[in-house]
Structure 1
Amino acid sequence: MLSFYLIGAFVYCILLGFLRAKWLSAASKERYFEKAKLSATLLIPVRNESQNLDSLLSHLEKIEGEFEEVIFIDDQSEDDSFEKLQELIAKRKPFKLIRSAGSGKKAALQSGVHAAKTDLILTSDADCRWKSSWPQQMKVPFSDSSVQLVAGPVLTEKSDGFLAGFQLLDWASILLLTGFSFAQKKPLMCSGANLAFRKSAFQKVGGYAGNEHWLSGDDEFLLKKIHQFFGKASTHYQFRPEALVRTQSEPTWKALFNQRIRWAGKWRAHPSFSHFGASLAVIVMQLFWIASFLLLLEGDWGWIVFFLSWLLKCLGEYYSLERILEHYGEKSKKIHLFGTSLFHPLYSLRIGFGAIFGNYSWKGRSIRGNVNFELNGTDRRGI
């Protein structure tokens, strides 16, 4: 068992080094696109965001000129979000507020796509912040007519404390896997907080039809549909730091688990072997590290191997994730990286079991199971 763990730890480090090298290579060879004047619409779903609206409108000031329209879609808010937003945008020409025709984020986005006047659509969230360069960076790849969808990077905003540092590193690991999968022309995931697509492509693949009963996954399901229908050249990942979107970190561990379980809850909806294989590999890897504590029962050599294995894990994650963060002008604290390396296996398994068995709440909705609608359209949520 001792040699098994040493070999396993080395393989893990080599794997991280391979992913890092491929990611950095793809980022350094970012494809050049001809600049083109493209009209676009920005869609922002809103649910119970009253406290964030003033800040949202303030940050939108530096990018609103890049869009023909900015459409806010109210997803059945239970606070005064709709009324407050209606008042805030009353005299701001590019802004438009509509109510979602259904329930849930997919229904909100579907309503927004239907209302959009332009073929090019960008999506983000109400708790996000953007650089002035963001709209142009996401629009430019569409100068190639074969590109139907563009995904961009997302990181949490800078903040103190281990919880915020943990989330920053967790997002870095998501960026590592996302960028690598796009570089291999087999995209696994993307984020609706930083996404762009053609309305015509959205309509061609039927939008969210077939998976609208899943609470999350508006981004991933659309990505997979477009990639499968239009081919490998239809999806592109924008590595550039100028395309980075910042999102707020979750304020509590409970909120973070609820968010991640919601994301992971759609695992069974993906029919592709690559997605299933990646999910299975993550679970096996976390079990490997948790089981390593049995080495402490193997005497002095067990303690030595345990220490060396976890040292390799920490070093491999440091040199991989830190390089991703550096690409976006970010840096983590070493104590946060060490704590994240230790805690992440338990965190991942908690999310995995929560996605399979757990109930959770999100934005005032209590979810029983992982699906928000039955196949016949009946709402299973306690609202």
Structure 2
Amino acid sequence: MLLNLLFIIAACYLALLLALIYGWNRITDFEPEYKAAEIKFSIIIPFRNEAENLPQLLESLKALKYPATHFEILLVNDDSEDESVEICSKYKVEEPPLDISTLETKRKSASPKKDAIQTAVQKAQFPYIITTDADCLVPELWLQTFNDFILTSNAEMICGPVSFSNTKRRKLFQVFDELDFLSLQATTVGALGIGQPFMCNGANLCYRKSTFLKAGGFSGNNNIASGDDVFLLQKFRERALETGFLKSEHAIVETKPQQNFPQLISQRMRWAAKAPAYQSVFSKFAGLSVFLMNFSLIISAFLVLFEIFPQQPVLIVFLLKFNADFILIFLAAKFFKRELVMRNYFWCSMVYPFFSTFIAIASLFISFHWKGRNFKS
């Protein structure tokens, strides 16, 4: 009976992975055609205590190959306690060609980041909003590539690729962080490729301002700390609005891995805490399949250890999952030119079921700490 249940869970999980792999391959790579700059962007960047990261981000924005008249930069301070505001003000004076504004977040909800974005959207003067994070770096053809994609697709929302910066020395938990992050990027693209998007990343997200306002912004989910990206995607999908993924190496925004293991735990708990609020059937099926697959493998391993389960069927299920996961993650690693990180796939695949199961359960009951604040699950 229990073995049959394991096989049913494995069948559902493998069906999900095959669908995501198919979806990934359906999204074609996009190359900018260097069309005339027609789209004007308001770049929104919330920040809190990011003095260490803001200079690099601002330098990358300075290097954008796009007319300065066609974009503005809205830096939104969320009660920073370091020199972040001073850095923004200094840069505004030193780089007069760039249209830079520093705003103060108007807190209205339990989600500081959503409040920051909502504050900036109200001040934005251009028709398209594009968001990123203060610990990111944007590529020089970022806006040009989005411009060409919008003119080609007329999408109301465009999800962009996000990758970890290519640093040679990393701690083991940071390697694990990157492989897990690659799996999330692959899932994002795969789900969109089969017409069932439920994930995206606010570090590289673009949408029409007027549509954001008509949809009511973040109303309805602003009691959840995170989700400034996925819940907005959910709203756009509910209104049958065109959503696309910009699968282009010229649009990849780079971010950093977490600096210590507790930060990694807190970040994943923050992300997982929004899962119960997903509304689409596919997103619920995906989340439940992933949780049950990992949880059942842990239980099965213990049952094999105590000779309650036979070893061979459990090993077969694990190998099927191992190979399906590898194919999906490798597709993302190849796109981001991070194939070398796959050398660590074996040991990460052994750790992941325990990590994933802990995060899923803990996010339901345990409060988490993020950016100097405590949040309830």
Counterpart secondary structure, 1:89: helix
Q: Structure 2 CA distance, aligned partners of 1:276 and 1:10?
A: 16
The 5 Å alignment of 1:58-207 reads: 58-63=59-64, 65-66=66-67, 67-93=70-96, 94=98, 95-102=100-107, 104-143=112-151, 146-159=154-167, 160-207=170-217
**Which letter maps to 1:51?**
E
Residue of structure 1 in register with 2:56 after alignment = 55
Query: Secondary structure at 1:49's aligned position in 2?
Result: coil
- The farther-off stretch of 15-24 and 322-331 is 15-24
Residue 356 of structure 1: aligned partner = 364
TM-score for the superposition, normalised by structure 2: 0.88
Deviations 1:173-204 (A, max 9, x none): 11222112211222101111000011111111
SS at match of 1:45: strand
2:105 partner letter: S
**RMSD across aligned positions (CA):** 2.6
Where 2:80 maps in the other structure, the secondary structure is coil
Q: Does 1:263 align with 2:271?
A: yes
Structure 2 unmatched runs, 5+: none
- 1:229-248 CA deviation, whole Å, 9 max, x = no partner? 2x15x111111222211111
Could you tell me whether the CA contact under 8 Å between 1:313 and 1:341 is conserved in 2? no
Instruction: Confirm or deny: 8 A CA contact 1:314 1:337 kept in the other structure.
Output: no
Aligned to 1:282, what secondary structure does the other structure show?
A: helix
- Residue 286 of structure 1, aligned match among 281, 288, 294: 294
User: Residues of 1 paired with 2:119 and 2:9: CA distance?
Assistant: 49
Mapped partners of 2:137, 2:28: distance in 1: 22
CA-CA distance at 1:359 after TM superposition: 0.8
Retained in 2: the 8 A contact 1:173–1:321? yes
1:337 to 331, 345, 351: 345
Separation in structure 1 between the aligned mates of residue 42 and residue 184 of structure 2, nearest angstrom: 27
Alpha-carbon contact 2:23-2:191 (below 8 Å) kept: no
Cα deviations across residues 18-56 of structure 1 (Å, max 9, x unaligned)?
42233123235x599994521112111111101212222
User: Deviation at 1:98?
Assistant: 1.3
Confirm or deny: 8 A CA contact 2:107 2:115 kept in the other structure: yes
- Deviation for aligned residue 1:280: 1.5
Match of 1:321?
A: 329
Counterparts in 2 of 1:36 and 1:221: CA distance versus 1, 3 Å: farther
- Range moving further from structure 2, 57-66 or 200-209: 57-66
> Deviation digits for residues 112-141 of structure 1, max 9, x if unmatched?
111111001110001111221222222323
After superposition, the Cα gap between the structure-2 partners of 1:85 and 1:279, relative to the gap in structure 1 and judged at 3 Å, is same
**Matched positions, count:** 365
Residue by residue over 1:156-188, the C-alpha shift from the partner in whole angstroms, topping out at 9 and shown as x without a partner, is 223423222212211221122211221122210
Q: 1:208 aligns with which of 207, 218, 224?
A: 218
Q: Is the 8 A contact 1:33 1:141 kept in 2?
A: no
In structure 1, C-alpha distance between the alignment counterparts of 2:16 and 2:281, rounded to whole Å: 20
Q: Per the alignment, in what secondary structure is the counterpart of residue 264 of structure 2?
A: helix
CA distance in 2: counterparts of 1:271 and 1:319, whole angstroms: 28
- Rounded to whole Å, the distance in 1 between the matches of 2:267 and 2:91 is 28
TM-score in terms of structure 1 length:
0.87
Quote the Cα distance in structure 2 between the aligned partners of 1:98 and 1:70: 11
The Cα of 1:305 is off from its aligned counterpart by 4.2
% identical aligned pairs: 30
TM-superposed CA distance for 1:61, in Å, is 2.2
2: CA distance, partners of 1:318 / 1:254: 26
C-alpha contact (below 8 Å) 1:45/1:75 kept by paired residues: yes
Q: Could you tell which deviates more after superposition, 187-196 or 344-353?
A: 344-353
For structure 1, which runs of at least 5 residues remain unmatched after alignment? 371-383
CA deviation digits over 1:62-105, x for unaligned, max 9?
Answer: 12745521111101112221123212322323222111122601
Higher mean C-alpha displacement, 286-295 vs 122-131? 286-295
Kindly state the Cα deviation for residue 2 of structure 1 after the two structures are TM-superposed: 6.3
Aligned to 2:306: 297
Q: In the alignment, residue 101 of structure 2 is paired with which amino acid?
A: K
Give distance in 2, aligned partners of 1:323 and 1:270: 26
- 1:269 to 1:33, Cα distance in 2 relative to 1, 3 A: farther
In the alignment, the residues of structure 1 paired with residue 47 and residue 300 of structure 2 have an alpha-carbon distance, to the nearest angstrom, of 44
Q: Does 1:220 align with 2:230?
A: yes
